[in-house]
């Protein structure tokens, strides 16, 4: 299966390919397998042996973990251009999360042996991989900090804004989160309950901040949502700047 020209451009702009030159990019793409999954299928499950790294070209991928109590927690969603499972560059480790396709997905895939061979030829790939893993660790640390220190409404606002930055699409009503996003999904992202998330979304609708329908969320007042996420008055400058960035989607 060949990949489209726009998907090649996505790959070339990925952090994995940074500073390795056109020859290295061509070699990386040529060495990859094309992984195509239907929505709902898993690239890998938490605690599976980490033997393959991926670069998403099309679709979205949901990352989840299961707590000791058996509760699923959604850590985030990946859009095209993001790398996942890159921990496979290390030997004898397992995946710390599960990665599930949201809708039909296409990704480049490299097994561990291929990754190690490519890193020997292009050491920059190893450095890029380590930087990607460091960034992912920071993301997860921020989520843990939010879960342990922020009130539920703030956590929910931050989660909705993250999703808008990752997948937001401008529509007449505002900014649509381009995901089949249920209220249960939002509860799992914020360590909350379905009842609490539903109540908060209802309050935000009354305030004119969001429109929330079945598996659909539209941000109608980005400034108001940023104010909640940052615990700021709506007219405070820092919140306005972040909301303006969101409006550039």
The per-residue pLDDT for range 37-53, each reduced to its tens digit, is 999 999 999 999 999 99
Supply the pLDDT for residue 241: 33
CB burial of 35-56 (b: ≥16 within 10 Å; e: otherwise) equals bebeeeeebbebeeebbbbbbb
Locate the DSSP E strands across 11-127. Answer: 33-37, 42-44, 52-66, 72-78, 83-84, 98-111
Supply the pLDDT for residue 244: 47
pLDDT band at 231 (very low <50, low <70, confident <90, very high): low
pLDDT over 60 (residue 156): yes
pLDDT over 50 (residue 201): yes
Supply the pLDDT for residue 1: 57
Q: If you average pLDDT over every residue of the chain, what do you get? A: 87
pLDDT over 60 (residue 234): no
Listed in sequence order, the DSSP H helices in the chain are 5-12, 21-31, 112-121, 123-149, 152-167, 183-190, 194-207, 222-230, 237-247
- Per the CB < 8 A criterion, the answer to whether 34 and 57 are in contact is no
């Amino acid at each position: 299966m060949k990949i489209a020209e726009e998907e090649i451009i996505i790959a070339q702009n990925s952090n994995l390919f940074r500073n390795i030159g056109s020859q290295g990019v061509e070699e990386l793409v040529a060495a990859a397998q094309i992984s195509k999954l239907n929505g709902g299928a898993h690239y890998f499950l938490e605690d599976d042996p980490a033997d393959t790294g991926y670069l998403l070209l099309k679709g979205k991928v949901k990352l989840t973990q299961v707590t000791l109590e058996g509760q699923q927690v959604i850590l985030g969603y990946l859009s095209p251009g993001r790398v996942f499972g890159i921990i496979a560059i290390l030997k004898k480790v397992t995946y710390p999360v599960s990665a599930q396709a949201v809708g039909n997905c296409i990704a480049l895939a490299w097994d561990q042996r291929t990754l190690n061979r490519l890193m020997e030829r292009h050491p920059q790939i190893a450095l890029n991989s380590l930087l990607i893993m460091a960034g992912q660790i920071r993301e997860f640390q921020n989520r843990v900090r939010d879960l342990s220190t922020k009130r539920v409404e703030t956590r929910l606002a931050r989660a909705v804004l993250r999703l808008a930055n990752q997948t937001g699409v401008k529509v007449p009503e505002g900014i649509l989160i381009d995901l089949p996003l249920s209220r249960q999904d939002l509860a799992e992202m914020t360590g909350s309950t379905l009842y609490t998330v539903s109540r908060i979304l209802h309050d935000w609708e009354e305030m004119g901040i969001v429109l929330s329908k079945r598996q659909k969320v539209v941000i109608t007042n980005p400034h108001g949502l940023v104010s909640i996420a940052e615990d700021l008055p709506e007219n405070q400058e820092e919140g306005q700047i972040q909301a303006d960035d969101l409006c550039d989607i």
